Each structure stands twice: as structure tokens, then as C-alpha cells.
Chains A and B, each alone.
Chain A
Amino acid sequence: MLSIKGLEVRYGAIHALKGVDVELKEGEIAAVIGSNGAGKTTLLQAVLGLVRPNAGVIELGGKPITRMSANKTSNLGVSLVPEGREVFGTLTVTENLRMGLKKKIGSVTKRQFEKELELVFERFPRLHERQNQLAFTLSGGEQQMLVLSRAMISKPRLLLLDEPSLGLAPIIVNEIFATINELAYEGTAILLVEQMAHKALSIAKRGYVVDNGNITLHGSSTALLNDDRMIKAYLGAH
């Protein structure tokens, strides 16, 4: 589904990614783990097309999307759930979800959109209760559910998740992770950037540890979970 080879990104003098390789199959979750500033978010942004890679190849389903704009990649079925949630605070829950469709009003009938909404509300009944509330009045967990649904409503083939556990209580994190697992089971390929390493690896098939723009460790998640270097690498020891 997704294949990244030798990806390099520079911001001026900063070398954010120094040749990163990632493979991801349909219906699979790959976890990307690493300390702050390691380059995880840059990786996701490069895949979506928000930053231009300096070198390397990104392929989606065998087609190169390396320097494509976010506009084009999202049309090809890539969705990003950003770090820090980024809801549209002054829009209602329904309007937030409508933004996820991206398409113009004419191309989606009201009925189609309502059908999509039903699916979302089935998954997250709490959003149903709050469908006419402004998004900034939602709690952190509800906002995370909202952005996850906003990304899913366009039925992407590849979902990029950036720190979905950020600032959430453990019980809500469990709920979110259960949903992520379900989405993968339904066939979406998911690239999951997460600081809760163990939680992420417990649902992922493969894991990649990023440090300072390099992948320092990768393998199946079971192998990584039992690797001593994991905790050390994760805690950001130098």
C-alpha cells in the first residue's frame, strides 16, 4: 500500500529526515515511535504532501506520490489526523465532519452525507449527542474522536495518525486505540505515530523507532516489545 524509500527532508540547515524506509500493507498498522523532534511528524507531513521531500520515493499502491500536493494525495485517499487535534473550534460537529468530505456540495447529496454521518455516529454515539455543538466545547477525547471521524469520512486507503493519545486519559486512549484497530481490520492502512510505545506496538504489526531523523530500530512489534533497546531508545536517552 505505502512504500517509502530513502526519504530525506531538510528545513534550511536542519536535516529532519535522513533516509527513511517504511513499508505498510493494506489493513495493517505500522507504529512509528521516537522522542520529540525525532522527525515523526515530518514523516507524516511528507507523505501527505505538506512538506516537500528533498530525496527519496513515496509510493501509494505502486504509484509515486513523492512530491504531490496535499490536495492531490488526499484525492488519492490519504488522510491525516494531525497532532494536537486541530478541530474547527467554531464549527459544529457536523460541519467539522462535512469538511472531511472535502468535495463540493453538489457532488455529495444530502442523503449521502447523512448516511456517512450515521456510520460515524454509530461508531461514536457521543458525537451523535453533540452533533450541533461547536467543536471547541467538546472534551479532549471527543475532539480526538471527531478528528478521527473527520479523516475517515472520506474513506481513505491510508490513514496517517499523529499522536492520537496526546493529553488524553488512559480510558479514552483505550477507546481510541480500539477504534484504530477496527479501522485497520476494515482494510485501512494506518501509519501511527505515537509516544505511548507499548500501546502502539500492541495494535501494530510492525514498528519503526525514529531517532534524529534516522530509523534506528525496526521489526515486528512482538520483537520490538521484547527488545531491551526499546525503552532506552524511547525514553530519549542519548
Chain B
Amino acid sequence: MSLILQLAISGLSVGCLYALIALGYSLTFVVNGTLNMSQGQLVMLGGVLMFGFAELGHLPFFVSFLLAALIVGLLNLGIERLAIRKFDKGANSIEWVLSTIAVGIIIQDVALYVNGPDEGVTPSPMGDEMLRIAGAGIYWKEFVFLPVVAVLLVLLILFYKKSHWGLWLRATADNRTAVEIMGISSNKIVAVAYMLSGLLAGIGGALMSTNYAVSVDIGLPLGLKAISVAILAGVNNPKGIVAAGLILGISEAFIGQYISTAFREMFVYGLVILVLYWKPMGLFNARKTIVKV
């Protein structure tokens, strides 16, 4: 019983990380039909920067955290300008897929060159204390992912529902022509979406580095895991993404425990392919496209 609880909690912790990263895809995809295929590498960068600032640079924890998130956010702003804007011709064009993949391999290789292949864990301010719930033991530094991501999600929802930028983002996602007619530059709004998505990646990476060993080659598999979450839920369905992320995290924990760790990745991708057979637009996707007359 306690093992099951323990697995569930640590599965949820990983799952909310997946959800956070996958939301980064969704944020931009709904706005202009593109996403950054190097999102995973951005998460990696967030983690490596966090470790670098906090452990090697001896900066205070929260300063490092903010710096890592901000740098990645700004980097994604640059990526939007260079690798997306010129190639943004909708979901079926292949140029932006290629250009962001190119960005990803450049980031990874340069990070490898600068940082080397070492991995590191940033000490969490939560220390190494254990939290005991009904006989299950879990590290506070792992458990803390849940409230942190929950707070982030609430902030994100508030931003979306209450701020004018949130309104503009939703409006651009809905009808870009009409936004232009209002005299609002839709390019600017797309850039904001990318910046936000980069921030999420940076935060995700920095957060991750407080409990998991982070090295330059975690980016690609992590990005793929997150995109699997997005595909399972439907890329334009943020609520579904959160649910799918959590489900995936828990399933992984249990499969790793009861079946095999080697089998885990196969399971995830096999599931994604099955979902695509059955529901190509994602499991939770109920939204109908609105066609103009």
C-alpha cells in the first residue's frame, strides 16, 4: 500500500513536469500553428543553467532559478524571430519543423561544448528531508513539484483569463486577421506566446534540476516525452495536457516498478501510436474547428 502511494506521488511529480513542458508546445501551437521542436533542449538548458548558476556560480537559489527561466524565455523569443516568423505558414509547412530542429541540435551541441557531458543535481532548498504519508516516504524536494506546478498553472490561467495579453493571445489563436484589423500586431503576440513557452521550459528545467541529474543529452528524450503528452491530449487542449501529463507520469512510475524500466519508453511511444490510430486529434479533443462561410 505504502509503495503504491509512494509510486503515485512520485509519478505525479514527474507527470506535472511533463505537463508543464507540454504546455509550452500548446501555448504557441494554438496561436499560430507552430511549435518549437527544440523545446526539450530548452528544458535541458534551463536545468544546466540552473546548476551552473547555483552550484558553480554560487548564486542564491532563487536568483539562479529566475535567471535560468528568464534566459531561456528570452532565447525562445529569439528563436521565434529567427526560426519561426519567416517560416510560419501554418501547421502543414515543413520549414519551421526543420528550422527549430536545427536550433535544437545547435543548442545541444554548443551546450555540450561549453558544459561538457557531466551531469549534476542542484541542491534544493527543501533539503533532503523525507515526507511521510501513511507509511510512504517521499522526498520533500520531489513532492514540492506538485504545489509549485499547481501555482504556476493557476497563474497561467489567470494570465489567460484576466490580462489583456491573455485576451490578445486567445484572440490571435481564434482569428489572426481580425486581430490585425484591430490594429494590433499579431507578430508581437506570437512572440509573447513564444516567450511564455520558453519561460515554462526554463522553469521546468530549473525545477527538474533540483531533483534529477541534468546533463546536456536529456533534452531530446524529454522533449519527445512532452510531445507525446501533447499528442495524447491534443496539442490545442491545455486541460487535457495537464491530465495526460499526470497520467503518463503515474503510468511510468508503475511500469518502471512492476514491469521493467527498459520497457518504459516503448510503452509511452506505443501508446501514442495507438492513440493516433484511434483518435488522430488526441484523446481529449472535443473542439470542433469553425469554418468560415
Q: Interface residues, chain A, CB within 8 Å of chain B?
A: 48-50, 69-75, 80, 82, 84, 86-91, 95, 98-100, 102-105, 136, 167
Contacts and interface: CB of A to CB of B under 8 A. Distances in A.
B184 A102 contact: yes
A73 B184 CA distance: 11
Given A104-B164, A136-B290, A167-B293, A87 B181 contact: no
Interface residues of B, number: 22
Contacts, number: 68
A105 B171 CA distance: 15
Nearest to B30: A90
A88 B178 contact: yes
Interface string B179-204: 11111110000000000000000000
A166 to B, nearest CB: 9
Chain B at the A interface: mostly helix, strand, loop or mixed? helix
B164 A80 contact: no
A87 B184 contact: no
A82 B292 contact: no
11 contacts: A48-B181, A70-B183, A75-B183, A88-B175, A88-B178, A91-B174, A95-B167, A99-B178, A99-B179, A99-B182, A103-B164
Interface in B149-170: 162-164, 167-168, 170
B260 interface: no
A74 B183 CA distance: 6
B175 A50 contact: no
Interface in B212-258: none
Given A95-B167, A105-B163, A105-B164, A88 B184 contact: no
B177 interface: yes
A91 B171 contact: yes
Contact of A86 (B162, B164, B175, B184): B175
B293 A102 contact: no
B186 to A, nearest CB: 11
Contacts of B185: 69, 71
Given A84-B292, A86-B178, A167-B293, A102 B183 contact: yes
Contacts of A90: 170, 173-174, 290
A89 B175 CA distance: 8
Most chain A CB atoms below 10 A, which of B170, B173, B181: B181
Nearest to B183: A74
Given A84-B292, A99-B167, A99-B171, A74 B182 contact: yes
A168 to B, nearest CB: 12
B177 A86 contact: yes
B121 to A, nearest CB: 41
Nearest to A72: B183
Nearest to B163: A105
A93 to B, nearest CB: 13
A71 B175 contact: no
Kindly list the 5 A-B residue pairs having the minimum CB-CB distance in the complex, ordered from nearest.
A74-B183, A86-B178, A105-B164, A88-B174, A70-B183
A227 to B, nearest CB: 33
Most chain B CB atoms below 10 A, which of A75, A82, A103: A82
